Amino acid sequence: MDLRVTGAGPAAPFLGARDVFETEHDLQHPVEVRVRESPDERTWAGHYDDHHVLNISRQAATSAMARELALHEFAHMHRHEHDHPSHVLPMDEVLFLALTGREVERRVLAHCYQIANHVKDIYADDITLSVGPTDKLVAFLESELAAAVADRPAAGPTVGQRLTAGADPSMTAVNAAFALALLERHDAVGRGHRIYDLAHAAGEDAPEIDVDAFRERFAALAADPDESDCRRGLVDAIRTYVDAQASTAGPAAD
């Protein structure tokens, strides 16, 4: 796996992530890591014909989660290279099928993309958690969910991008379902863990969202779906969420 780090940031977390990733997987295309000064960059990957780019803020690159964030993005790159349906299905097509005949607020439309990203993250982390420890991820998800449930927006951007503090209650409930599903898929927590109490609180704040149903939906994602199954699952999940928001007034998206 060819890796190059550019920008004012440490190379060690990315080299460490590469070493862990290579114990079971590899990438065909080289990876350029771009450490950005702007904390708004957070962490995201770009995929091109002959290489990948991992963009990450210096704040995230110097955090305790840096290696885990890099490992997570390498897993996304692997899914993309192998044309996993969750990573290559056109979202415009999915949204057209899910939203035909429905009037959708712009904030809800943004949430639809986040639900699709949760599906991508679960498939990426099926790789991540097969090669790396779970402790940091459990603590990270618990912290992010606690902040969101308490509705305390962070002073600045968080180092990850799975859950967001100060989130819309409905989306926080779905985020909670995602977190539980991901951890349950890998037996990372027991039923007595505090994150279940946080998820229950998130559900109480958004009674229109069935947290258990979304948890089961995410947890039951097939390991190797075909394109049709993946499309159907995304359409159903998005349609279920949108229909739960039907009574919310606001300007509709085009």
Tell me what pLDDT residue 249 has.
46
* Lookup: tokens for 237: 């999940």
**Side chain identity at residue 90, one-letter code:** P
Could you tell me if 132 and 71 are in contact, meaning their C-beta atoms sit under 8 angstroms apart?
Answer: yes
**Side chain identity at residue 221, one-letter code:** L
| Least confident window among 30-44, 56-70, 80-94, 189-203 | 30-44
Task: Determine the Cα–Cα distance for residues 51 and 227; give it in Å rounded to an integer.
Answer: 24
pTM of the model: 0.89
Burial class, 158, CB count within 10 angstroms (exposed 0-12 / middle 13-18 / buried 19+): buried
Tell me what pLDDT residue 213 has.
97
pLDDT band with cut points at 50, 70 and 90 for residue 163 = low
Evaluate if residue 157 carries a pLDDT over 90: no
Residues 6 or more apart whose CB falls under 8 angstroms from that of 195 comprise 138, 141, 142, 145, 179, 180, 183, 189
Mean pLDDT, the chain, rounded, equals 89
* Lookup: tokens for 233: 């699952």
Tell me what pLDDT residue 123 has.
97
- Going through the chain in order, the beta strands assigned E by DSSP cover 3-6, 31-36, 43-47, 52-57
Tell me what pLDDT residue 247 has.
58
pLDDT band with cut points at 50, 70 and 90 for residue 121 = very high
3-state helix, strand, coil split of the chain in percent (to 5) is 55, 10, 35
Tell me what pLDDT residue 160 has.
46
Q: 220-227 — which CB contacts under 8 Å span 24+ positions?
A: 221/119, 221/122, 221/123, 223/126, 225/85, 225/86, 226/85, 227/85, 227/89
Task: Determine the Cα–Cα distance for residues 37 and 157; give it in Å rounded to an integer.
Answer: 13
Strand-strand pairing, 3-6 and 43-47: unpaired
* Lookup: tokens for 241: 């969420």
| Least confident window among 8-22, 67-81, 102-116, 239-253 | 239-253
Region 27-41 average pLDDT: 88
Q: Residue ranges of the domains in the chain?
A: 3-66+73-81, 85-244
